[in-house]
């Protein structure tokens, strides 16, 4: 650890370091991270994934803006403590704060104290010096002495979790043909579109793969998948024997990742692609109409490094290895905080 980091960690987190020493002496509970983010699955997964990988005990709090502040960017909130539901700020504080996204950045920067370190995930759109650590993806283009850069989004996919999910879900999918392809479907997000036209294209490609390559297929939509798009996919794929989650009961998402021989994932979500490439399965990206410089750069990088390929309506297989930067980011975070 550099001298700068040593001094910053000692000045910013004395109670955190004391808690860590107490743990080593067998006198205290693990370090507790108060996790703060808006109620979005991608942000929640990143924040909890990093905290868990770092070995922190988590106290998850949802940032819920109150009216009229729901109408404004978090960067325009004069005092975020008055702009969000008080439950997110209720005691206990924990040993450190860990958040993801723009609203969390605004809250953490305000609440940070010398004895309450703040760790933010994603580009905070403000001075990085207002945080003890900033974790960003490579495509964010941000660097600095307290910045941790990852190739993939942070998440909760681990070899241990995949093994548990495989044991749980393998019997459920045992009747489907092999090779078995998991299809992870996102939705329109303001940058990419999964409207009826895009859904028809995707449905035709997936149906063609089932017909020509004789694959088994299991598909999970997301909360962002429009009902009309889901209906198009179901109409094309269910008659061919595809298993499609009806959004009822236990979510099969991690089980599908665990048992798949190959994965097709729509290219609207950095988080979903990051979770897919954390498995050992070949990953094919189904590109959607629209454009995002940052998301597009990430998808292109996954293809350029050979971890993913663009989906062309046929099964593609090649030698792969899991790509997961969450453990690296967690280890670097602990080093940066001096714990």
In this predicted model, what pLDDT tens digit does every residue of 272-327 receive, in sequence order? Answer: 999 999 999 999 999 999 999 999 999 999 999 999 999 999 999 999 999 999 99
Greater confidence (48 vs 41) lies with 48
For residues 10, 147, 280, 199, the Cα torsion angle rounded to the nearest 10 degrees is: 130
pLDDT 10s digits, 215-236: 999 999 999 999 999 999 999 9
Task: Please say whether the structural domain 159-310 has been given the CATH code 3.40.50.2000.
Answer: yes
CATH topology identical between 32-155+328-337 and 159-310? yes
Task: Answer yes or no: is pLDDT of 19 > 70.
Answer: no
User: Residue 120: which of 150, 143, 100, 144 has the closest Cα?
Assistant: 100
pLDDT score at 141: 86
Task: Answer yes or no: is pLDDT of 103 > 90.
Answer: yes
Structural contact between residues 148 and 136, judged by C-beta atoms closer than 8 angstroms: yes
DSSP code per residue over 177-203: -SSEEEEE-----SSB---HHHHHHHH
Percentage of the chain surpassing pLDDT 90? 87
Greater confidence (315 vs 141) lies with 315
Which CATH code, of 3.30.1490, 3.40.50, 1.10.8, 2.20.25, is assigned to 32-155+328-337?
A: 3.40.50
| 135: DSSP letter | E
What mean pLDDT do residues 229-251 have?
97
Instruction: Return d(Cα 273, Cα 221) in angstroms, integer.
Output: 14
Q: How many CB atoms lie within 10 A of CB 310?
A: 14
Instruction: Return d(Cα 208, Cα 172) in angstroms, integer.
Output: 24
Q: How confident is the model at residue 258 (pLDDT cuts 50, 70, 90)?
A: very high
Return the SS3 of 37.
strand
pLDDT score at 5: 35
Q: How many CB atoms lie within 10 A of CB 151?
A: 18
CA–CA–CA angle 163, 168, 169 (5° rounding): 100
Percentage of the chain surpassing pLDDT 70? 91
Least confident of 83-87, 137-141, 146-150: 137-141
Q: How confident is the model at residue 205 (pLDDT cuts 50, 70, 90)?
A: very high
Greater confidence (11 vs 312) lies with 312
pLDDT score at 29: 56
pLDDT score at 285: 98
Task: Answer yes or no: is pLDDT of 192 > 60.
Answer: yes
Q: At what angle do helices 293-304 and 270-277 cross, to 10 degrees?
A: 20
On the 0-12 / 13-18 / 19+ scale of CB atoms within 10 A, 336 is buried
Residue with tokens 């960690």, as numbered in its chain: 9
Task: Answer yes or no: is pLDDT of 21 > 80.
Answer: no
pLDDT 10s digits, 165-180: 999 999 999 999 999 9
Residues in the chain: 339
Greater confidence (2 vs 321) lies with 321
Return the SS3 of 64.
coil
Task: Answer yes or no: is pLDDT of 248 > 50.
Answer: yes
pLDDT score at 10: 34
Q: What are the residue ranges spanned by the domains of the chain?
A: 32-155+328-337, 159-310
Q: How confident is the model at residue 135 (pLDDT cuts 50, 70, 90)?
A: very high
Q: How confident is the model at residue 339 (pLDDT cuts 50, 70, 90)?
A: confident
Q: How many CB atoms lie within 10 A of CB 319?
A: 7
What mean pLDDT do residues 126-146 have?
94
Question: In terms of DSSP H, where are the helices of the chain?
Answer: 3-12, 14-24, 41-53, 80-83, 102-111, 159-169, 196-213, 227-237, 253-259, 270-277, 293-304, 326-337
Task: Answer yes or no: is pLDDT of 9 > 50.
Answer: no
Q: How confident is the model at residue 338 (pLDDT cuts 50, 70, 90)?
A: confident
């Amino acid at each position: 650890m550099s001298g700068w980091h040593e001094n910053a960690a000692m000045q910013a987190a004395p109670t955190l370091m004391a808690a860590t020493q107490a743990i080593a002496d067998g006198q205290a509970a693990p370090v507790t991270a108060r996790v703060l983010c808006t109620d979005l699955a991608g942000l929640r997964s990143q924040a909890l994934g990093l905290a868990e990988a770092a070995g922190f005990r988590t106290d998850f709090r949802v940032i819920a803006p109150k009216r009229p502040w729901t109408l404004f960017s978090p960067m325009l909130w004069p005092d975020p403590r008055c702009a969000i539901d008080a439950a997110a700020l209720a005691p206990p504080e924990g040993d450190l704060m860990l958040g993801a996204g723009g609203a969390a950045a605004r809250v953490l920067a305000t609440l940070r104290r010398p004895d309450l370190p703040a760790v933010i995930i994603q580009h905070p759109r403000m001075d990085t010096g207002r945080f003890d650590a900033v974790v960003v993806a490579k495509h964010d283009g941000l660097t600095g002495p307290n910045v941790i850069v990852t190739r993939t989004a942070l998440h909760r996919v681990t070899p241990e979790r995949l093994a548990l999910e495989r044991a749980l879900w393998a019997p459920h999918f045992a009747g489907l043909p092999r090779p078995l392809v998991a299809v992870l479907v996102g939705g329109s997000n303001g940058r990419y579109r999964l409207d009826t036209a895009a859904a028809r294209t995707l449905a035709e490609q997936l149906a063609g793969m089932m017909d020509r390559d004789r694959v088994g297929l299991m598909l999970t939509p997301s909360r962002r998948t429009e009902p009309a798009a889901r209906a198009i996919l179901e109409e094309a794929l269910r008659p061919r024997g595809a298993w499609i989650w009806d959004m009822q009961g236990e979510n099969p998402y991690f089980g599908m990742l665990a048992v798949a021989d190959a994965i097709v994932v729509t290219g609207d979500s950095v988080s979903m692609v990051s979770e897919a490439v954390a498995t050992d399965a070949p990953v094919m990206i189904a590109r959607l109409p629209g454009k995002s410089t940052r998301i597009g750069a990430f998808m292109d990088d996954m293809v350029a490094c050979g971890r993913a390929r663009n989906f062309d309506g046929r099964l593609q297989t090649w030698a792969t290895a899991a790509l997961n930067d969450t453990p690296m980011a967690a280890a670097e975070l602990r080093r940066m905080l001096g714990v």
